[in-house]
Amino acid sequence: MFNGFLEDLVNNLKKLPGIGSKTAQRLALHLISIEKAEALNLSDSIKIAVQSYKNCSICNMLSETDPCRFCEDTTRISNVICVVENTQDAYLIENLHEFKGRYFVLNKLLSPLDGIGPDEINFPKLEKIINSGEIQEIILALNPSAEGESTINFMALQFEDKDIKITRLSTGLPFGGDIEYTSSLTLSNAFKRRYLVTE
């Protein structure tokens, strides 16, 4: 339908999560039809944000600062760590105002078929934190999917000889679901009713 620069814009917009062909076309046409200053301001905001955010050297969370604000906060409980897949999941949990411990962001979940092993999910860095001896509970707040279950089982096996409580979110979260699209109430209840991964 489109060609040239507009086609490139549409194709790039389609790479965003939840954006299909029709939405990408509508957004592209909107962007080229609004005031140029407004569109370029959006472009500058994207560029600045992309260039400014990096992974926290402690927990891997995307942040403008290193360490991130969560790792720098001395009022947070230091012996409980919540393991999440991505930065967005950490913020969703933080918005519940239920958790006051530390976070660790994997960035990916185990998926051997896709070539994603322990190194790709930053497991060595997490293992170093756990081996420090300070952690008393690991909360595995991962999506209840095949990859999430594989990652939970792997971590439970790796840390089973430690004197650490390993919990996961309640299965009020549907298998195959996504934390991102879970209501605050469901996520809050799942967080409160977490249970031990191994007995």
CATH number assigned to the domain comprising residue 26: 1.10.8.420
Distance CA 39, CA 62 (A): 25
Please check whether residues 92 and 169 belong to one and the same domain. Answer: yes
How many domains does the structure of the chain reveal?
Answer: 2
Distance CA 71, CA 57 (A): 10
Name the DSSP letter for residue 19.
-
pLDDT in tens, the chain (199 residues): 677 899 999 999 999 999 999 999 999 999 999 999 999 999 999 999 999 999 999 999 999 999 999 999 999 999 999 999 999 999 999 999 999 999 999 999 999 889 999 999 999 999 999 998 899 999 999 988 889 989 999 999 999 888 999 998 876 656 666 777 777 767 776 777 676 776 6
Please check whether residues 131 and 40 belong to one and the same domain. Answer: no
- Do the domain assignments include residue 169? yes
Q: Do 130 and 159 touch, CB atoms closer than 8 A?
A: yes
Name the DSSP letter for residue 38.
H
